[in-house]
Amino acid sequence: MPVVVPESLVIEPAVAVRVARLADGRFQLWWRDEADQVEIFALTEPESREMKQLAAAVGGRQTAVTPALPGLARPYFAVQFSGGPADGRRVVVAERFLPLRSGLNFRDIGGYRTGDGREVRWGQVYRSGSLAGLVDADLAYLDQLGLRLVCDLRSPREVKRAPDRLPAGWGGEWVARPLSSQVGGREQARLLRQQRHELDKLLRRMYTQDILEENARSIGDMFTRLGQAENRPALFHCAAGKDRTGVMVALLLAMLGVPDETIVADYTLSNLAHGAIEQVMRRELRQALWVGIRPSQLSSLLLANPETLRFTLTAVREKYGSVSGYLRQAAGVSEEVIDRLREGLLA
């Protein structure tokens, strides 16, 4: 079986502007639109209309590097286009991967455009892997995000073995909503042995059966909680931030009207955190030795293969008509909650 390089599966989401933090603390921005002049302003809040701190101004180019912004732990950038085809356009953007020292696959799902031209708000919904290994500097950073809700999608066994670390005195709500299989350990081992040469099929079953069907009501509860404005910003996480979290976020983005190609692209970004995912899942892989499977045979389980999520979205629509249909029929999410989520999470 050929070795798959994780980065080869990454699909860069189609966004108007993207930003990444450089090693020296500066930020690099890239954009697609053409303009005679581009001004980049640093903001403390994504919804702010006050653009007081000019971070960069360039003429015509489609990339820029800002100075370091030590006073802004979580900077947002307003990119203002003047002249040319993009004249008058203003785009707000932030770094998608958050700079936690020991965090795993911690990302903001903001900035994605919907089919009707709206945009998912930044700083409202985050996704990640385990919080068990966060260091004090991470907790201080996390505290500044203003999280109001943390939904842990791991099994009770996983939570007990590696409980979340959260900021001291944190005033939000932590809830456990495991999206794990109801099948017992022996049956899981049998399935793993049977399908060790068809791991893509195993993951598809996990997504559609274990997560979506067996835990539909837990998913519905989390959507209902997220629909309450006082529960945002919110974080959804599992062990790696790839599978259970990936399905949850895919449902949310699809319900908001984000196109499938963008949803799948966001899912594949977990491949950029493959090294950290491999470390955190090492113990789980070693347990496969008990059923006569070498950990190396399970390496594809650590990949975010775009075809796995495409299959899952197709399966949901074939059975329920749409993702919103699944949320209403299987997960018990009311139309009122769906409307509130669209109103609260889209700009």
Cα–Cα distance for residue pair 17/252, rounded to 1 Å:
22
Residue whose structure tokens are 């109801």? 182
Catalytic residue chosen out of the listed positions 238, 250, 276, 323: 238
Is the Cβ–Cβ distance between 91 and 83 less than 8 Å? no
Which of 151, 211, 203 is CA-nearest to residue 180?
211
Those residues with Cβ within 8 angstroms of residue 85's Cβ, 6 or more apart along the chain or in another chain: 33, 34, 35
One-letter identity of residue 182 = Q
Reply yes or no: is the peptide bond before residue 233 cis, omega within 30 of 0.
yes
- The strand pair at 76-82 and 37-43 is best described as antiparallel
- Residue 30, classified by CB atoms within 10 Å of its CB into exposed (0-12), middle (13-18) or buried (19+), is middle
| Nearest CA-CA partner of 249 in 145, 181, 151, 102 | 151
Is the Cβ–Cβ distance between 77 and 92 less than 8 Å? yes
Q: Which amino acid is at 160?
A: K
Q: What are phi and psi of 261, to 5 degrees?
A: -65, -35
Helical segments of the chain, H only:
136-144, 156-161, 185-194, 199-205, 216-226, 244-256, 260-268, 274-280, 282-286, 306-320, 323-329, 335-345
**Which positions ≥6 away from 65 have C-beta within 8 Å?**
22, 26, 27, 28, 29, 56
Active-site residue flag, 151:
no
The catalytic site residues sit at 238
